[in-house]
Amino acid sequence: MLLYLSLGDLSMAIISCPGCGKKVSDKAAVCGECGFMLGAHDVESLARKAQNQRAIKVSKLVSQQMLAILLFIAGIAGTFYDWAQLDGWQFMPQVSMVVTVFSFVWYLVARARIYILKRQR
């Protein structure tokens, strides 16, 4: 596996991804930008592709999780902030509560999806 990767790097060529048009290595199994499946189709590379795609999905979900946490904190802060002192922002406590609930659910969904993806390995 390591040997394959280092050989791959030596003979690496840059191509445009058919999925998103970004520059990717022609040895990459999966486009790092959009997840488009590139390259060979033997059993080993298919397994590697699946693994790569899972790793990409997990890292996307981890950043979603972080976003959800930030949004949740913002929602809590917004819920308890004294918006009454500002003109035209009376609706903000309600908006903040919706944001808080939404981000909490979002966090749980992302958390569950990471758990499921990691169990498949």
Exposure string of 75-86, with b = 16+ CB inside 10 Å and e = fewer, is: bbebbeeebeee
Nearer to Zn ion, 15 or 95 (CB): 15
Q: Which is nearer to Zn ion, 37 or 97 (CB)?
A: 37
Query: Which 3-state string (H, E, C) describes 42-82?
Result: CHHHHHHHHHHHHHHHHHHHHHHHHHHHHHHHHHHHHHHCC
Nearest CB to Zn ion, comparing residues 34 and 95: 34
Q: How far is the CB of 15 from Zn ion (least distance, A)?
A: 10
Binding site for Zn ion (CB under 5 A): 17, 19-20, 31, 33-34, 36
Q: Closest approach of Cβ 26 to Zn ion, in Å?
A: 13
